[in-house]
Amino acid sequence: MELIQLTPWDLGIAALLVLLLAGLSFHLQLGIEKRLLIASARSAVQLSLLGLILKIIFTQSSPLAIALLTLFMLLVASYEVMNRQERRYQGYWGMGVGIFSMFLSSFSVTLLALLIILQADPWYTPQYLIPLLGMMLGNTMTGVALSLDSLNQNAWQQRASIEARLMLGDDWHSAIAGIRRNALHTGLIPIMNAMAAAGIISIPGMMTGQILAGSSPMEAAKYQILILFLVSASIGLGSMIAIWVGSKHLFDERQRLRLDRLTRPKH
């Protein structure tokens, strides 16, 4: 089946729905209309620019251009991880934890998929590398941000309990073990909910896109299963690494709790 081409008028009709929502927000005094319009405009501009950039990269398949784009994606995702935390790490640790955890998790899972599962030739074929890495980074970014935010917030709120356990002889691993488990659980909740609802409550985005593009529903389902499994592995691995590195940074070499390494909330 031939793919239906969208015109600017088609997108304009969809944009009217966002404007209607913004108008309702203003009428009901919800206070979200400005953020909604800014977010909508940003998404339209960013996705349009991405489409132009990917069109050039897909045509040229330059390894240098692909490497620069993936590096940019990693840096932006790491910044978003830092920006979504109420109490973030001070100094270079603010972005460093996100860069380290997402590089090890998202890049390794993407390489595994390209080299072993999809066996793309060459492995850096942008048609496969960029969308896969984008999905890994985007989802892992959310999981890591939620995990670190939970870790740091709970460490701050339960600082008296942590210090009491340290005084009673526990090492830092034991003193913060419960908080780390809760933080990991928090980071994995979105992907677990998405996996539980897939195919019953919702049709995931990638499967929907492939079906709209004319792919076989069964083939689209297989790709969606693959993506869900890869994303869950990337989120789990990235969250574990971030929690380990982040919680270790909350203690000094003498195993004292150092919450002065966290910034104050933004509000």
Q: How does pLDDT run across 123-166, given as a tens digit for each residue? A: 888 888 998 999 999 999 999 999 999 999 999 999 899 989 88
Average pLDDT of span 95-116: 92
**Residues across the chain:** 267
pLDDT value at position 29?
83
Residue 84 clears pLDDT 90, i.e. is over it: no
- Quick one: the chain helix, strand, coil %, rounded to 5? 75, 0, 20
pLDDT value at position 267?
56
Cβ neighbours for 44, distance < 8 A, ≥ 6 positions apart: 11, 15
pLDDT interval class at 201 (50, 70, 90): confident
Tokens at 156, concatenated: 């701050």
